[in-house]
Amino acid sequence: MLEAMQDWDLVVHHLIDHAAREHGSREHVTHWADGTETRTDWAGIRRDALKMTQALRRLGVGKGDRIATLAMNHSRHLVTWYGATGVGGILHTINPRLFEDQLDYIVNHAEDRVLLYDAAFQPIVDMMRSRWASVEHYICFDPPPGSDAIAFEDWIGAEDGDTEWAPVDERDPCMLCYTSGTTGNPKGVLYEHRSTMLHAWAGIQPMAFDFDATTVMLPVVPMFHAASWGLPWAGAITGVKFVYSAVNDPEVLCDLMDREGVTHSAGVPTVWLAMFQHADETGRDLPNLKQAVIGGSAAPRFMIERLMKHGIRVAHAWGMTETSPIGTVGAPTFDWADKNFDEKVGVVQMQGRSIFGVELRTVSLDDMSTPLPRDGETAGALQIRGPWVVKRYFKADQDAVDAEGWFDTGDVGILHPDGTLQLTDRTKDVIKSGGEWISSVELENAAVGHPAVAEAAAVGMPHPKWDERPVLFVVKKAGAEVTGGEIIEHLKHQVAKWWLPDAVEFVDDIPHTATGKISKKDLRERFADYTLEV
């Protein structure tokens, strides 16, 4: 190595140093659970993060130690991102919506030594405390008056901030996020300083988060979900003004967006649904955003249409905890100007194309060693590789990737000739019938198009001749009446005849995972004794 250019480690300390130096007075607004609002700025975030590293060192917490949070979006949570990593520790953001046994598992698996939490999650702390053996210190971000919890502001307030970040290597871990785990125990993805930095740089590009110094971002995606899509890191690069809300009430969100001049937001589809509902009920306009990032699960067409009609650019993204999470973004294609509105919506509705860094391929569902063509027709198991993709889960004894570095996403998709990804199913949900594959998701999407259907789940049930055949479980809308035959009739116009379910079963509810997705695992367990009539 000649060392012709300068040495500069890819460590997240640079992010907060830059933001505080070049965008120090740029605001952070927090709307707290109790309705109060506080303001700080990038210089304040850095000062407090430095104080936090001192407070952590005083507790004997340092390099490689796991520091957990159980919190909504707010500026103190952001301080913790930079403070925990600043001491050389590993930030572990816990999803408070996890079930009890998952909360038990992940904190013990992570061996968290410190846990910082919102007062709103005091019941979880009280419930779990005796089972969380590794946690030595509990600190509350916003203790109510009279609480005997250690208050975050008091804890860091005892320090002067006159310190330095811990030296770390760029391949050292800086953050730990557990997958929600639709099967088996949650798995920990350990992000490194280097992977986080490259992901952040890639994230600010026009085709993804589109960040510059004028950006005002209200991230609805929680800081405990998939590294908040990397926004807290990426925002530091251009000194984004962050507007946080510790509550997800659509009225609060719309008020904040209007009042604080929010230009960018990001959230799962249900967030936008709630905004629509609020707008419809109150007659108020949707906020005048420049861009809305939608990810987490596929956005329906009407949602994309409505946002785009309102002049909001929609970046429909796909990724997962294992991919930091940005994999693909549905951004304008090179021939954008030649497309009409419907065609544009069609492009955005697919899951977009991979951004530079990550690479996609599909392989045969029957034989994972056979790559499939990008023909826009053949569905296969989606695989991904790149610098911000997991190699080995935390504490795992073998790699999560194959010899060529491909990570199997568990998704089923079609790759188009221009690289556009079209997701069709999950590997474990796709239904194999007579040697061919039926997409459970397409059946469900077609079914919920029926006016009487509130929710639908298609599951492959064992069949003596065809291996599996689809059964559709349906929750009717309140007060609606519909027969199985009518639903089959409705589906006939939308899917191939051999895809039609062998049975439609009406149920009162469909089980969900902690992140709100349909839990086919629980559905299959509930109907373990189900037998198809042949």
Q: How many CB atoms lie within 10 A of CB 33?
A: 16
- Pick from 391, 428, 490, 524 the residue near its own copies by CB under 8 A: 391
Closest CA to 386 of 369, 367, 405: 405
Q: What is the dihedral of CA 283, 288, 290, 295, to 10 degrees?
A: -30
- Rule CB under 8 A: is residue 149 a binding residue for its own copies? no
- Rule CB under 8 A: is residue 77 a binding residue for its own copies? no
- Rule CB under 8 A: is residue 404 a binding residue for its own copies? no
- Pick from 62, 161, 300, 332 the residue near its own copies by CB under 8 A: 332
CA distances for 33 relative to 142, 153, 161, 243, 252, angstroms: 9, 17, 28, 14, 11
- Rule CB under 8 A: is residue 334 a binding residue for its own copies? yes
Instruction: Round to whole Å and give the CA distance between 38 and 24.
Output: 17
* Residues 183-222, mask of contacts with its own copies (x by CB under 8 A): ------xxxx-xx--x--xx-xxxx--xxxxx--------
Instruction: Round to whole Å and give the CA distance between 51 and 334.
Output: 47
- Rule CB under 8 A: is residue 416 a binding residue for its own copies? no
CB nearer its own copies, residue 228 or residue 324: 324
- Rule CB under 8 A: is residue 169 a binding residue for its own copies? yes
Rounded to a whole number of angstroms, the minimum distance from the CB of residue 243 to its own copies is 13
Tell whether the torsion through CA atoms of 104, 109, 176 and 16 is positive or negative.
positive
Active site residue 179: yes
Rounded to a whole number of angstroms, the minimum distance from the CB of residue 3 to its own copies is 5
Active-site hit among 179, 196, 362, 424: 179
Query: What residues numbered 499-528 form the site for its own copies, per CB under 8 A?
Result: none
DSSP state of 389: S
CB nearer its own copies, residue 272 or residue 406: 406
Residues 6+ apart with CB under 8 A from 514: 95, 97, 98, 99, 102, 180
- Rule CB under 8 A: is residue 50 a binding residue for its own copies? no
Active site residue 378: no
Which strand (E) or helix (H) includes residue 443? helix 440-447
- Pick from 219, 269, 357, 501 the residue near its own copies by CB under 8 A: 357
Instruction: Round to whole Å and give the CA distance between 215 and 252.
Output: 20
Q: How many CA atoms lie within 13 A of 326 on its CB side?
A: 32
Rounded to a whole number of angstroms, the minimum distance from the CB of residue 230 to its own copies is 13
CB nearer its own copies, residue 11 or residue 518: 11
Closest CA to 57 of 157, 165, 176: 165
- Rule CB under 8 A: is residue 15 a binding residue for its own copies? yes
CA distances for 318 relative to 21, 64, 69, 149, 411, angstroms: 33, 30, 25, 39, 11
- Rule CB under 8 A: is residue 403 a binding residue for its own copies? no
- Pick from 111, 260, 359, 522 the residue near its own copies by CB under 8 A: 359
- Pick from 12, 16, 26, 181 the residue near its own copies by CB under 8 A: 26
Instruction: Round to whole Å and give the CA distance between 98 and 450.
Output: 32
CB nearer its own copies, residue 171 or residue 259: 171
Closest CA to 228 of 259, 267, 285, 192: 267
- Segment interacting with its own copies (CB under 8 A) among 234-242, 246-254, 276-284, 517-525: 234-242
Encoding tokens for residue 302? Answer: 């009407």
Q: How many CB atoms lie within 10 A of CB 248?
A: 15
Active site residue 420: no
DSSP state of 170: T
- Rule CB under 8 A: is residue 385 a binding residue for its own copies? yes
Contact present, 330 and 348 (Cβ < 8 Å)? yes
Active-site hit among 290, 432, 476, 521: 432
Rounded to a whole number of angstroms, the minimum distance from the CB of residue 483 to its own copies is 47
Active-site hit among 437, 444, 466, 513: 437
- Rule CB under 8 A: is residue 238 a binding residue for its own copies? yes
**Plot region of 520 (φ>0 → left; ψ -120 to 50 → alpha; else → beta):** alpha
- Segment interacting with its own copies (CB under 8 A) among 107-115, 334-342, 438-446, 505-513: 334-342
Place of tokens 């919102």: 118
- Identify the three-state secondary structure at position 20: helix
- Segment interacting with its own copies (CB under 8 A) among 45-53, 68-76, 386-394, 524-532: 386-394
Binding site for its own copies (CB under 8 A): 1-8, 14-15, 18, 21-23, 25-26, 169, 171-173, 189-192, 194-195, 198, 201-202, 204-207, 210-214, 236-239, 241, 324, 331-334, 336-337, 353-354, 356-357, 359, 385-394, 401, 405, 407, 418-419
Which residues are catalytic, by number?
A: 179, 322, 432, 437
